[in-house]
Chains A and B, each alone.
Chain A
Amino acid sequence: MLNELTAHEIHDLIVAKKISVFEVTEAILERIEAVGEKVNAYLSVMGEEALREAKKIDAAIAGGREVAPLTGIPIAIKDNMCLRGAATTCSSKILDNFRPPYDATVVDKLRQERAVFIGKTNMDEFAMGSSTENSRSGITHNPWDLSTVPGGSSGGSAAAVAAGETIMALGSDTGGSIRQPASFCGVVGMKPTYGLVSRYGLVAFASSLDQIGPLTKDVTDAAYLMNALCGHDRKDSTSVNREVPDYPQALVNDVKGLKIGIPREYFGEGIDREVRETVERTIRLLSKLGAKIKETSLPHTEYAVATYYLIATAEASSNLARYDGVQYGYRVGKQESLSGNSTIDMYEQTRAEGFGDEVKRRIMLGTYGLSAGYYEAYYLRAQKVRTLIKQDFDRAFEEFDCLLTPTAPTAAFKIGEKMDDPLQMYLSDIFTISVNLAGIPALAIPGGFTGGGLPIGLQLIAKPFAEETLFRIAYTYEQNTDYHKRKCNL
């Protein structure tokens, strides 16, 4: 089955002229046809365009065009990234029918590589959530167990990769939104260093935390996708201007002498026994392979969730202010049910109807935290704690090449389990949030399974721009295990 292959396997077959891009695309679309309804990973599938593009690529290859690593590879895009002319809704009613007249920089880069866009994936509204249940277009189901959530907010992308409904996908990660669903769905997900991948065309949730990254079936695919995504972009002032390494070169089966720290704060209350055992098993394996592993401490970890929810919501309250019904998207206007006549009436009713509960909750929280009299106590204080959290990591990386933690405290939870308890939901990101606050890279990889057959994820964290270290360790781990090869039964 072509849809079960990785991107690099497909690439080799295309180069060897054993398969065509059209066949691969068709296989993906057939798979979507077969399981799409059960999983509900996609908000929109661009079948016709994808097949048309596949034919063009096949013709180009036949004409002697070079096959880049991602040429002809089907890819799914999270619905908060702009793809010219395609609906980009962030799973929100307020962006009903919004079709951007421009491509996100990452989409543009993938176009240049001639990847094939399969569709836009489901997500928590405006990337706010950890289960993909906050979507106006319905819940996405975890392909490993349809009664559980795929994680979030990039749940659609992670589920699509796990279910074989795409070969690879893009997600965005503000507090764990790539890594936590990767963990729940048993796939690889990377949150790159802040500034490494352009945010231009990514609908902002929290600008100082958001990063786009890959969701793939294995570490090798993640390295190739990172090669395509990274690079300076003049359209994003926070994008860094430095040379991008060739990530696949870091895929070396060797961790001898690498120092790996285990932060003790990540193994406290609330962590599932099977998750803890998975990390312990991993420590033993990596030690056997020659890594030097030692316990360490990130003392400000306990403040991360509070800090994150002050900063992320403050930025969100401002970023989401533009959805007011004036220019685009959903509007409660005169022709609709507008009561009252003023612009304020229009704003209020448009936003009241257009946003879901979680988004409203965060806008209110963020607005409050920035208000006169509270700014110093909340937002500014949070920024100071953010610095302390970052310094924790700086200190740790003086000694270690990498930190190893679980990605999430538990495996995928049941649909509906945490919807009435926002705080419990927020705590499912407890191991991923600090990384965004510090702006550093982290990679989530499959590390095992629960007794019930649900994937458990591992997280590797490195210092800024040390993605290669993450790839090397993850690749070595992958070469010595086969968790990433297991397929879900759908």
Chain B
Amino acid sequence: MQYETVIGLEVHAGLSTNSKIFCGCSTKFGASPNSQTCPVCLGLPGVLPVLNEAAVEDAIKVALALNCQVSPYSKFDRKNYYYPDLPKNYQISQNYLPVAFKGYLDVPLEKGTKRVGIDNIHLEEDAGKNIHGGGADAGESLVDLNRAGIPLIEIVTQPDMRSLEEVEKFMISLRDILLYLGVCDCCMEEGSLRFEANISLRLEGESRLGNRVEMKNLNSFKMVSKALQHEMRRQGEVLKEGGHIKAETRLWDEEKEVTSTMRSKEEAHDYRYFPEPDLSPLIIKDNWIDRVRKAMPELPRERKLRFSREYKIPEYDAQVLIADKYLADFYEDTVKLFPEAKMVSNWVMGELLRGLKERNINIEECLLPATHFANMLNMIKKGAISGRIAKDVFAEMLDTGKEAEEIVKEKGWSQMSDEDEVSRIADEIIEKNPQSVRDFQGGKEKALGFFIGQVMKVTRGKANPQLVNKLLKEKLGKLK
């Protein structure tokens, strides 16, 4: 019997608005602790929230890009729980009437596409940060509220994903949309994109969902993948032994690479949601939506069409390139410097993607700048290095981030195109091999191959093959 995996995601994206969602404080990352706060985001007595329209506009953009319906009438609710990084001890969120709902995202896969449903998108405020053991006393914790009140959108998917590949490609596609829209910098180290996953297993063909496990604390694409992989295995083993999966929340332990129970369903928080009385309902009129729609930037779909049109590359190439915004950006940046678009796409889809895969890194983790890449392609074109050597040079570039020219110099890999030098070597070899000269004169064309091989051997492959061929033919012809 086969198990089917059912996965849904909750994605928190910190919006790149200039000010916080309910006050005028800056949202800039990295300022000194508590320097970007005011009575409102500190939750002092008597203060009131005022909604930042820029955050609403960003939410509308995301809603449109994810094919959602924008609610003409939505509301904010209070989610009540106690935590020192939550100054009011409630978070203003949207529980009952979110800003957008019922959408989908078509995710390009290795083969075909997958449609992942979006249940809803809601706006909320972020919490601050607790720094444990940061105080004078080891048992003390400090609180930094710079992040408190930064606008977040939470995107909740349907449990539509069935494999790790679908999850991974979904995350990239979603991240790209956020990047294309310019609403989130998607910087995971700074916490501006965070994931929670829910996963359950069921027998193939079963329509009911199994008990689902929620996983928190997933702060990178890799963590999501590893945690899900671990959880698929764990749940599979439990079920195969006739066990029962408990509905619970589990935490991913990045160090030990395991998940462990955080709280059971029975211990789940009662957030006592109720409508936020300090904010009026959020009314979004059609003309606002139309205005946002008209100002939407290029999204992956349109970029793909433009690639085919502008660069005259096959649709397949365009599809591979736009599957990752950073890859597409890298491609475009390179083509700007080295306009042989098809040669660039061949290299990107071939050597670059293979190289990244071998190193198990993403394009944005890769050290190679587009300028270096373009310079290398130029060297091939000019004949300064051969296509074969270029592959070694490229591998070296991926590892070190150095310019091709520097690598070639260091390693002594430059192609020998100096006619006098190659001519001198050819003369030497002809002189040392009278028998082969005779073979050639006797009509054995194969002997030419021997001479070429010898020259390449002596030059350790650096000699320009066309040049070697030309010179040897001339010299041996004269001897006739």
Interface of A with B (CB < 8 Å)? 80-82, 88, 90, 95, 98, 100-102, 104, 199-204, 206-208, 234-238, 314-315, 317-318, 321-324, 326-328, 334, 341, 343-344, 347, 367, 370-372, 375, 379
Are A321 and B90 also in contact (CB < 8 A) when A341-B139, A371-B270 are?
A: yes
Identify which of B42-50, B119-127, B235-243 touches chain A. Answer: B42-50
B window 260-290: CB within 8 A of A: 270, 272-274, 277-280
> In the complex, what's the smallest C-beta–C-beta distance from A207 to chain B, in angstroms?
4
Chain B residues positioned under 8 Å from A100 (CB to CB): 39, 44-46
A379 to B275, CA, bound (A): 10
- Tell me which residues across on chain B come within 8 A of A318, comparing CB atoms: 78, 80, 90, 272, 274
Q: How far is the CA of A322 from the CA of B47 in the complex (A)?
A: 12
Q: Is the CB of B51 within 8 A of A322?
A: no
**Using a Cβ cutoff of 8 Å, how many contacts connect chains A and B?**
103
Q: Measured between alpha carbons, how far is A321 from B81 in the docked complex, in Å?
A: 9
Q: Which of B47, B51, B82 has the most CB of A within 10 A?
A: B47
Most buried by B among A104, A237, A315, A370: A237
Asked if A200 contacts B46 (CB within 8 A), the reply is yes
Contact across chains for A370 and B46 when beta carbons are under 8 A apart: no
A314 touches B274 (CB 8 A): yes
Closest chain B CB from A109 CB (angstroms): 15
Contact of B54 with A by CB under 8 A: no
Residues of B within 8 A of A (CB): 39, 42-51, 78, 80, 82, 84, 87-90, 137, 139, 141, 143, 270, 272-274, 277-280
- Residue among B43, B45, B143 with the most chain A CB within 10 A? B45
Query: Which residue of A has the minimal Cβ distance to B268?
Result: A372
State whether A370 and B45 are in contact (beta carbons under 8 Å apart), knowing that A234-B50, A237-B280, A322-B89 are contacts in the complex.
no
Q: Other CB < 8 Å A-B pairs besides A102-B39, A321-B89, 8 of them?
A: A90-B45, A100-B44, A208-B277, A314-B274, A321-B90, A343-B84, A370-B80, A370-B273
Residues on B with C-beta less than 8 A from A236 are 48, 50
26 examples of A-B residue contacts, CB within 8 angstroms: A98-B45, A100-B39, A102-B44, A201-B46, A202-B46, A204-B45, A208-B277, A236-B48, A236-B50, A238-B279, A317-B272, A321-B82, A321-B90, A322-B43, A322-B45, A322-B87, A322-B88, A324-B84, A327-B87, A341-B139, A343-B84, A343-B141, A344-B82, A347-B82, A372-B270, A379-B274
What A residues does B49 contact at CB under 8 A? 237
Q: Considering only CB atoms, which chain B residue lies closest to A367 in the complex?
A: B272
* Chain A residue contacts of B48, Cβ below 8 A: 199-200, 235-238
Would A321 and B46 be within 8 Å (CB), given that A101-B39, A237-B51, A238-B280 are in contact? no
List chain B residues, Cβ under 8 A from A101.
39, 44
Q: Are B47 and A201 in contact (CB under 8 A)?
A: yes
The minimal Cβ–Cβ distance linking B20 to chain A, given in whole angstroms, is 14
Q: Chain A contacts of B280 at CB under 8 A?
A: 237-238
User: In the bound complex, what is the Cα–Cα distance between A123 and B44 (angstroms)?
Assistant: 20
A2 → chain B closest CB, angstroms: 32
Distance, CA A439 to CA B87, complexed state (A)? 29
**Contacts A318-B272, A318-B274, A321-B80 hold; do A104 and B46 have CB atoms under 8 A apart?**
yes
Which residues of chain A have C-beta atoms less than 8 A from B141's C-beta?
A: 343
B452 to chain A, nearest CB (A): 78
How far is it, in angstroms, between the C-alpha of A101 and the C-alpha of B43 when the chains are bound?
Answer: 13
> Closest approach, in angstroms, between the C-beta of A426 and any C-beta of chain B?
21
Closest residue on chain B to residue A90 by CB atoms: B45
